Amino acid sequence: MRHPLILTLCLGSAMALAACDRSGKAEVERALKDVNVIDESNLNDIMLTVADPNEAVAYFKRASDENPDRLDLQRGLGNSLIRAKRPAEAVAVWSKVAQAPGATPEDRVDLADALIRSGDWKKAEAELDRVPPTHESYKRYKLEAMVADSNKEWQKADSFYEIAAGLTTKPGGVLNNWGYSKLTRGDYKGAESLFTQALVQEPDLFTAKNNLVLARGAQRNYDLPVVEMTQVEQAQLLHTMALTAIKQGDVSIGKGLLQQAIEAHPQYFDAAARSLAALEANVQN
């Protein structure tokens, strides 16, 4: 009589153990899935920042093909294509993202950015016009300013640049762009002020240093600005100043600045040496 009872107990224990085993496996799988999500998130961040751009493109292309419904991976692909300087391909990706369910206004801003990089300013402007006015972001207003610049709508450009500069903790780049806009309009004083502000925000921004020299040179002020610069940068800025002086007909000043540039450079400064040789040959002729 004991055998059926023992058998029943054994079967009950086996079923309980099987249930525990299934429950334990499910918990392990859930835990591993959580770990994988964390690892993937970290890997995505690495691919978008420090990885080789073309490797990042390959990674996000493969991942988005495997998970076609995940907009985050498609966004990663779009951003990676921009980093890899492949804007035409990025336009195709961002067009798809911007039309997908779950797309945000910033996705359309990213599409406009890719279009500008591809040289399609009209389509970029049309996309920006479709962004709701309530969506206020640094990138949106920076692009709005650039489009206004391309249309020579200076008042609108100034307004958008000012808004963009107020929406970021690192306004050096947009102040530099704004200064360059002023430079192309012939407002050299305004440009000089903006380049100086850009360098207060980001002292290592060499493009702003170079543009500042152009703005000063356009006013026939051929003294280098008092900003932080390496020896190589000093030589490069003297070269820029020299070419500006020569272009304006101040040839003797330009020649002296070229000589200073060659002397300031810690190594052989081929570009300045060639400019000086061409200038001297032209004077002799």
Q: Report the distance separating Cα 176 and Cα 207, nearest Å.
A: 8
* Fold match, 41-135 / 136-217: yes
| Domain spanning 41-135, CATH class | mainly alpha
What pLDDT is attached to residue 8?
A: 43
The pLDDT, as a whole number, for residue 51 is 79
Q: Are 97 and 107 in contact (CB under 8 A)?
A: yes
Q: What is the pTM of this model?
A: 0.79
Q: What is the pLDDT of residue 47?
A: 80
The closest alpha carbon to 198, from 186, 217, 183, 218, belongs to 183
Domain ranges for the chain, please list them. Answer: 41-135, 136-217, 229-285
Domain 136-217 has CATH 1.25.40.10: yes
Secondary structure class of 248 (helix, strand, coil): coil
Cα–Cα distances in angstroms (integers) from residue 119 to residues 145, 150, 187, 241, in the given order: 16, 11, 26, 30
Give the pLDDT of residue 191: 97
> Which phi-psi region, left, alpha or beta, contains residue 135 (left: φ > 0; alpha: ψ -120 to 50)?
beta
pLDDT digits (tens), the chain, 285 positions: 445 444 443 444 444 444 445 555 555 455 444 444 445 667 788 888 767 899 999 999 999 999 999 999 999 999 999 999 999 999 999 999 999 999 999 999 999 999 999 999 999 999 999 999 999 999 999 999 999 999 999 999 999 999 999 999 999 999 999 999 999 999 999 999 999 999 999 999 999 999 999 999 999 999 999 999 999 999 999 999 999 999 999 999 999 999 999 999 999 889 988 988 888 877 655
